[in-house]
Amino acid sequence: MSEEFLGYQRAKGKVGIRNKIAIISSVVCVNHIAEQIAKEIENSVAITHPLGCGQFGPDFSYTLRTLVGLGSNPNIYGVIVVGLGCENLTSKLIANNIKRAKKPVEFFNMQDVKGGSKAAVEKGIKIGKMLANEAKELQQEPFDFSNLILGLECGGSDSISGITANPTVGIISDKIIELGGTSILPEFTEWIGTEHLLIQRATNKKVADKIHLTLNNFLENTMKTGIDFRGIQPTPGNIEGGLTTIEEKSLGTIAKAGKAPIMGVLKYSEAPKGKGLWLMIEPGLDVESMTGLAAAGAQAIIMTTGRGSPCGNPVTPVIKICGNPKTCDWMASNIDVDASKIITENKDIKVIADTLWRKLKETCNGGKTKAEILGFEDIAIWRCTAAPFQIFRS
């Protein structure tokens, strides 16, 4: 097979590997309305969250940028934003920002619809069915992998991840970049102890300084609150899985990013400013991380998991790869690629990388991941009100 996939052409040169309708709630109060609308619309997803009311400052910016990014993701054909009507993060504000992606966007507030929530659901369904019919008319076309943004995630890591699944993903990340595409590595708190290795790969001093200051300022700020972050990592689950130090965990984390040069450091849910490998500021929280990657425009995410994790994303398909033989057997229904053969059968990492590459191509061509099949559509938006995170205001 050639290094191409069948995708959906979007405006501004973007390409989707899914063709979904997104029903986005602007505020927690209308989550149920968004969910009810999505249930009646073919190939739609509800993007709900517990935020949107009374937010201000960096939290407001993070939530706005993330919801706009999710709606703007190339995997989304069209969007309906449902608001309540009295929140400060309004449906109109979200919709107008998504419109910059040049895709169909509609919005309304429940308080403006006579008949209350039931009438609002009926209105949303009517609009959604219209968008879904339009989406069906789109035909897939062949595209090369320079059009792909790949998210690199890990969760439930163990001592095996860093020598099996993670370096396998690193090979795929490097391949995407060699083909002219883009990869994003989040989880900045899991760079601790390896920052010197990342700095060596920075394309210029400005990028190197950003990596250093991100970690240095975070650790200093946590110290001011009486917390030594290095004393709470690895997590209890990581320790049970055999990880002993944050440096060991971090070495596994950055292995997912291969060996490519680092182009820059992104804010949470910020879209890359060009091709190549980018880092994203996000504190290693699985669902928040994948939400941020999808909001940054990633059309596919590869997640390594040693101890096992079922979570997915409503916008972006998540491929699970695991290097732990026990977990691969115990959670077979959740794992897409078994990397444990590196240990059990002495398979070369490059052989497993070939299997992962085929799975990525299959996913980009419309093949469903285990998380999609099982219906894991998890959303959580990172909040940065805690003192250590104030340096990341946007």
pLDDT, one tens digit per residue, over 106-127 is 999 999 999 999 999 999 999 9
Rounded to an integer, the average pLDDT of 87-116 is 97
| HSE value, Cβ hemisphere, 13 Å, CA-based, for 189 | 21
Q: Which of 3-12, 51-60, 217-226, 239-248 has the lowest mean pLDDT?
A: 239-248
Rounded to an integer, the average pLDDT of 248-266 is 91
**pLDDT computed for residue 216 by the predictor:** 85
pLDDT at 237 over 80: no
Over the stretch 322-340, which tens digit does the pLDDT of each residue have? 999 999 999 999 999 999 9
Confidence tier at 295 by pLDDT (50, 70, 90):
very high
Q: Are strands 4-9 and 141-144 parallel, antiparallel or unpaired?
A: antiparallel
pLDDT at 228 over 80: no
pLDDT at 246 over 80: no
Confidence tier at 243 by pLDDT (50, 70, 90):
low
Residue 168 has phi, psi (to 5 degrees) of: -65, -45
**pLDDT computed for residue 385 by the predictor:** 59
Region of residue 359 (left: phi > 0; alpha: psi -120 to 50; beta: else):
alpha
Spatial separation of the C-alpha atoms in residues 302 and 307, rounded to whole Å: 16
- Is domain 20-136 given the CATH code 3.30.1490 in the classification? no
Q: Are strands 4-9 and 15-16 parallel, antiparallel or unpaired?
A: antiparallel
Percent of the chain with pLDDT over 90: 78
Query: Is pLDDT larger for residue 251 or for residue 391?
Result: 251
**pLDDT computed for residue 57 by the predictor:** 87
Of these ranges, 131-145, 148-162, 203-217, 231-245, the one predicted with the greatest mean pLDDT is 131-145
Strands (E) in 276-347, as ranges, are: 276-280, 300-304, 318-322, 337-338
Spatial separation of the C-alpha atoms in residues 286 and 150, rounded to whole Å: 16
Rounded to an integer, the average pLDDT of 353-370 is 98
Q: 273: burial class by Cβ within 10 Å (0-12, 13-18, 19+)?
A: exposed
- 57-72 vs 286-295: helix axis angle to the nearest 10? 60
Question: Domain map of the chain by residue range?
Answer: 20-136, 143-392
Spatial separation of the C-alpha atoms in residues 108 and 331, rounded to whole Å: 42
**pLDDT computed for residue 388 by the predictor:** 44
**pLDDT computed for residue 235 by the predictor:** 63
Which residue bears the tokens 């972050």?
A: 229
**CA angle, 197 then 355 then 253, to 5°:** 25
Contact of 344 with 335, CB cutoff 8 Å? no
**pLDDT computed for residue 2 by the predictor:** 58
Confidence tier at 1 by pLDDT (50, 70, 90):
very low
Query: Is pLDDT larger for residue 158 or for residue 382?
Result: 382
**CA angle, 335 then 20 then 69, to 5°:** 90
Q: Is 4 helix (H, G, I), strand (E, B) or coil?
A: strand
Over the stretch 155-210, which tens digit does the pLDDT of each residue have? 877 778 888 999 999 999 999 999 999 999 998 888 888 899 999 999 999 999 99
Over the stretch 122-140, which tens digit does the pLDDT of each residue have? 999 999 999 999 999 999 9
pLDDT at 303 over 80: yes
Q: Which of 58-62, 229-233, 236-240, 358-362 has the lowest mean pLDDT?
A: 229-233
For the chain, give the mean pLDDT.
Answer: 92
The pair of structure tokens assigned to 121 is: 């659901």
